[in-house]
Structure formats: structure tokens, C-alpha cells
Amino acid sequence: MSLPDANDRVTGGTPLLEVKGVTLQYRTRQHVVTATYRVSFDVHRSERYVILGPSGCGKSTLLKAIGGYVAPVEGQILLAGEPRRTPGPDRVFVFQDFEQLLPWKTVCENIVFALTAAGRWRPREARERALHYIAKVGLTEFAHGYPHTLSGGMKQRVAIARGLAMEPQVLLMDEPFAALDALTRARMQEELLQLWEEARLTVLFVTHSISEAIRVAQRILLLTPHPGQVRAELNSTGEDVVGADGVRLSARIEELLFGAAWRSSGAAHD
Amino acid sequence: MTDARIPLVRPERLESPLPASDVVQQPLGVWTRAWDNGGLRKTMLLVVLLATWEGYARWLDNPLLFPTFSATLVALLNGLASGQIPRAAVFTMSLLLRGYLLGLVLAGVLVACAAASRLGSDLLETLSAMFNPLPSVALLPLALIWFGLGNAGVIFVLVHAVLWAVALNTFAGVKAISPTLRMVGQNYGLSTLGLITRVLIPGAFPSLLTGAKVGWAFAWRTLIAAELVFGVTSGSGGLGWYIYEQKNELRIPEVFAGLLTVTLFGLFVEHVVFRTIEVRTVRRWGMQT
């Protein structure tokens, strides 16, 4: 499968999603914790954009803010130039949690539910659409089964099919493969890239795995932890290439995120 | 001796497994399957219990204290044939269903308020903490003063018996729903009402069913007790009244027949009505095993 080169992308025009100096806080019982501090970045249409950082860098909170679940205390989030303050079907979420499918609905009904709840499709069209996208993720046999009969990977495929069927402006994926085993995870990454080839949807993907970020991304945003701040924004071709400076991309990312602390502490490699 | 530190290099090995479907799946034996049948197991238990009853009553040989199962069965059949028990049962059932359904609806409204706002959940918690411990029968004298000697007073008491059990259980279920499911509902643009009816209520269904079962039992107890204590509260009597009347005439097998009718209703509702609902909903959805 040939992936388009990072330089092939159309990067002109206004970005689809603009995150401008966003500070996010959440409350625990005793404290107000700052999850991200003045984070800014742009995502263009049809881009595969990955937010990468260690735990505690506020990447999931950032994604929730873009999804409209958390309001920024400072800064702005604009989708196609408009601020969005509540969750809505123009920004569909794929969660890490396998339990994001309604257990009382079959695979097909889960997708039909999403399509009709948004009010954009009539039940009959929604059904055809649902079956079409179920076929795309290769689950036709299981279309009328209930979620509890599926494996974790299959559930995530259904969630992705549901997201694709909605044709959102941007698909928000919050570590969707983190709870899968390594083999399934690698396969799901390939499938996601194939689906993207067909649909050319804007994908915003959060992960803590460097190898996954390199595989999935066209552009990678690196966040440092406590609080989350932008460290760098890099391009990726999908391969762990050796750059002009003779350093592998993965090694560069490790250096940027962990610096000297990385080598001395010998933190686990993902 | 080879050096243990040097790993032994062995050639690679490739095999092509043969299809062996009979090894993968084998049918269960007849006895295993019979023992897996819950209906059969329970029938067996029931037969043992009835045989114990019959044996003990025969050994006691005192029909005034403890009639045999066979005598009770005869009394039941006589009662059924004379139409006395069916009339009483229909009367009790119609009253019971009205109170029960009204209680369910009110519980639904209360839980919806509680799910929608913090103040609503405070209201539910406070009201149920105050009223749940009050025995329904204790409210009956008051209800009779308020609503007069009619069905309305009994229905009021039934609603009280059902409401708190169902509301508390359902709300516990709503609180246990994974936050991801709520977020999914909001993601696809559901309104608060849509979220309640399309995500929260089905999500809380296992607890809702438990609440409905507990509420059903409370409703029965309340109604029979009300009829026993206060007799006829309206035109004709129900099962509780039937039991009371038979006791006054010392027809103990008939008293047992009345009690047996109540337990038969209990068995039917638990094993046919609620079981069917469970099989078609929570078990099918994998929310309960």
C-alpha cells in the first residue's frame, strides 16, 4: 500500500481546526489541576494529525475539549472558524473504552442509532449506510450480533465504522487501540490507514506510543507533561525514517520528549 | 557437554494442520443438558418441597393446624370450580396492576429528574430516605380518611409500596452506567430527554428489573395485608379477604388454598413474566449472565 508523502498534502487555505492558546483545568476534591497550558496547533482538512505525549500531558483532556465535553479556561477552539462549546455529531469520538457501543443494540442498530439520533439520515438510508460501513470494516457476518459477542478489536472496528458513517468534520480518536493486543493493534493501524485512503477524513488521533504515532500520522504534535505544553510539531511519512541529521525519527522524538532524563532513567520503550 | 550459555540452534519447523472439526466441538451428554435446564432443576426442587409438606402434614395429622398438600389442592380446585377464587384473584390483580403501573410511572419520572440534575437526585435521595422505611399498611388508615372506602386508598398505598423500591434501584443503575456511554449519547446530539430515554433507561435496565421485581413483591404483600387487616375496602373482596373469611369459618385447607394461589401467582410472574423480559433484554444484551 502506498501512502502519500507528507509533502504531497495541501496545506494552504484556512485550517479546519484551530486550537489557540488553550489552557484546560480540571477539579479534584482538593485541587484545581492544569492539564494543558496555552497549547496551540492547527489541523488541516483530510490530515492525519497525532497528539503524542507521556501520561499526564493532558492529551486526552485536550481531545475532550475539542469534542466539547470540557470548556477551556483560556484560549479558543475553532472548527471551520466557529467556536464549538457542546458535544455534537460534527466531531465524532472513538474512545479507548470497548464499552462505547450500546449493549442493548446490535452492531447495525448501534450505527443506525448514531445516524438517526443526529437527525441527518432517515431510518432506511441509515440502515443501508450502516451495512455499507460494516462491510468496510469487514464485520458483515456480525452485523446483527450484539456487542458482547464481539472481541475487543471487533468492537473498536464497529466504533470506527460508526464514526466513518457519520461523516464528521473531524474524527477524534482517543487511544482507540491502546487496550488491544500487539498483533490486533498493528492490524487495526493498517486498516485505519486503508479506510483513510478511501474516505480522506480529517483524523485527530491521541496516543502515548511513539511507534503508533509514526505509523498513523502525517503530522505529530509532541506534548510535555505537567502541565501539557507543546514541545514540537513533526512530519511523518509512516516509516521510522532516518532524518538529515542521521537520527531516526523515533530517537528524535524520544530525545525531544525525555531529553537526558530518558537515557539515565531507562524508561520503558513502547 | 555443550556450554549452557550458547543457545542450541535448531532447524525451523513447518507443519500444515489438518482440519479436525470433531475435536473442536462435541455434543454434551443428555444428563449434562438436562441438569443445565433451570426449569427442570426448579421443578425437581418443587416436587421435593411438596412431598415434604405432604409427609409432614400426614405425620402431624391435624388438619386444623396444618392441612396436607392434597387437602389444600382439593380445596383449591373446589374454590376454582365455584368461581370464588378466580373472582377474588381477578379483583386483587386488577387493583394490584393499577397501583403497580402507576408506581412504575411515578418512579420513572422521579428517576428522570434525578438523572437530569443534581437537585433532582437530592430530592430522590431525601424522599426515599424519609418514606421508604414507612410500612405501606401504616398509611392505609390515613389513605382511607383521605380517599374514602374505595379503591383509591388502596392504590395510593400500593404506589407507596412500589415507588421507592423501583426508584432507588433504577437510580443506582443509572449511576452505574459507564461515563463513556453518556459521552457517546451526547456525541450524537441527543437532548437531555433523548439521553434519558435512549441511553440511561436501557443502560439501567438490569437494576430497573430488580427494582420492578422487589416492587412487585412489596405490592403483593401490601395488598394482601391491607385486605386481611381492613377487610373489604370496596364492593367485593380480593384474595386477602377470601383468606380472612375462610379463617373465620375455620376452613384451614381453604386458607391454605388462598395462600397457595398467592404463591402460584408469585411463581408465574417470576418465572414466566420477568424471566421472559430478562431473556429478551438484559441476557440477550450480555448485561447479565
Q: Is residue B65 pLDDT above 90, yes or no?
A: no
What is the percent of chain A where pLDDT is above 90? 41
Pick A93's closest partner by Cβ from B183, B194, B284: B183
Task: Name residue, grid cell 462435541.
Answer: B26
Distance from the first to the final alpha carbon of chain A: 25
> Is the CB of residue B192 less than 8 Å away from at least one CB of chain A?
no
The backbone region for B29, taken as left when phi is positive above 0, alpha when psi lies in -120 to 50, beta otherwise, is: beta
Phi, psi for residue B6 in degrees, rounded to 5 = -90, 120
Pick B188's closest partner by Cβ from A118, A146, A147: A118
- Residue A158: how many CB atoms within 10 A of its CB? 28
- Over residues A124-166, the pLDDT tens digits come to 989 999 999 999 888 899 999 999 999 888 999 999 999 989 9
Q: Is residue B19 pLDDT above 80, yes or no?
A: no
Residue B18 or A234, more confident: A234
Pick A99's closest partner by Cβ from B180, B188, B189: B180
Phi, psi for residue B232 in degrees, rounded to 5 = -80, 120
Contact call for B202 and A117, based on CB within 8 A = no
Q: Which residues contact A137 (CB under 8 A, 6 or more apart)?
A: A157, A158, A160, A161, A191, A195
> Is the CB of residue A262 less than 8 Å away from at least one CB of chain B?
no
A7-16, A137-146, B37-46, B56-65: segment of lowest average pLDDT: A7-16
- Give the pLDDT confidence score for residue A8 in this predicted structure: 47
- Mean pLDDT computed over A207-226: 90
C-alpha cell recorded at residue A153: 478489536
Q: pLDDT band at residue B72, thresholds of 50, 70 and 90?
A: very high
- Give the pLDDT confidence score for residue A2 in this predicted structure: 43
> Is the CB of residue B102 less than 8 Å away from at least one CB of chain A?
no
> Is the CB of residue A178 less than 8 Å away from at least one CB of chain B?
no
- Give the pLDDT confidence score for residue A261 in this predicted structure: 52
Q: From edge to edge, which strands make up the β-sheet containing A219-224?
A: A91-94, A170-174, A202-207, A48-52, A219-224, A229-235
- Over residues A159-202, the pLDDT tens digits come to 999 998 998 999 999 999 988 888 888 988 998 999 899 888 99
A27-36, A106-115, A127-136: segment of lowest average pLDDT: A27-36
Residues of A in contact with B208 (CB under 8 A): none
- Over residues A53-83, the pLDDT tens digits come to 888 788 889 999 999 999 999 999 999 888 9
Residues of A in contact with B181 (CB under 8 A): 99-100, 102
Contact call for A119 and B189, based on CB within 8 A = yes
> Is the CB of residue B289 less than 8 Å away from at least one CB of chain A?
no
Residue B229 or A150, more confident: A150
Angle at B78 between CA B74 and CA B82, to 5 degrees: 175
- Over residues B100-134, the pLDDT tens digits come to 999 999 999 999 999 888 899 999 999 999 998 88
Contact call for A102 and B189, based on CB within 8 A = no
Contact call for A103 and B183, based on CB within 8 A = no
- Give the pLDDT confidence score for residue B53 in this predicted structure: 93
Pick A146's closest partner by Cβ from B189, B194, B284: B284
- Give the pLDDT confidence score for residue B3 in this predicted structure: 60
- Give the pLDDT confidence score for residue A172 in this predicted structure: 94
* Strand-strand pairing, A91-94 and A170-174: parallel
Pick B285's closest partner by Cβ from A88, A93, A148: A148
Which residue, among A158, A124, A126, A129, has the nearest Cα to A141 in the 3D structure? Answer: A158
Q: pLDDT band at residue B244, thresholds of 50, 70 and 90?
A: confident
- Mean pLDDT computed over B177-202: 89
Q: How far is B178 from chain A (nearest CA, A)?
A: 8
Question: What whole-number distance in Å separates Cα of residue B174 and Cα of residue B199?
Answer: 9
> Is the CB of residue A130 less than 8 Å away from at least one CB of chain B?
no
DSSP B162: H
Buried b / exposed e across A181-195, counting CB within 10 Å, b at 16+?
eeebbeebbebbbeb
* B122 residue type, one letter: D
Question: What whole-number distance in Å separates Cα of residue A184 and Cα of residue A189?
Answer: 9
DSSP B231: -
> Is the CB of residue A39 less than 8 Å away from at least one CB of chain B?
no
Q: How far is B215 from chain A (nearest CA, A)?
A: 24
Residues of B in contact with A112 (CB under 8 A): none
C-alpha cell recorded at residue B129: 430516605
Residues of B in contact with A104 (CB under 8 A): 202-203, 205, 281, 285, 287
Query: Structure pTM?
Result: 0.76
- Mean pLDDT computed over B240-259: 89
Please classify residue A40 by burial: count the beta carbons closer than 10 Å to its beta carbon, then call 0-12 exposed, 13-18 middle and 19+ buried: middle
Residues of A in contact with B183 (CB under 8 A): 67, 69, 87, 93, 95
Q: pLDDT band at residue B143, thresholds of 50, 70 and 90?
A: confident
Task: Name residue, grid cell 466557529.
Answer: A82
Q: Is residue B14 pLDDT above 90, yes or no?
A: no
- Give the pLDDT confidence score for residue B236 in this predicted structure: 66
Q: How far is B199 from chain A (nearest CA, A)?
A: 8
- Give the pLDDT confidence score for residue B4 in this predicted structure: 61
Mean pLDDT of chain B: 86
Please state the length of chain B.
289
- Over residues A238-260, the pLDDT tens digits come to 888 887 788 888 888 888 888 75
Q: From edge to edge, which strands make up the β-sheet containing A82-83?
A: A32-43, A17-27, A74-79, A82-83
CB B138 within 8 A of CB B160: no
> Is the CB of residue A90 less than 8 Å away from at least one CB of chain B?
no
Please classify residue A108 by burial: count the beta carbons closer than 10 Å to its beta carbon, then call 0-12 exposed, 13-18 middle and 19+ buried: buried
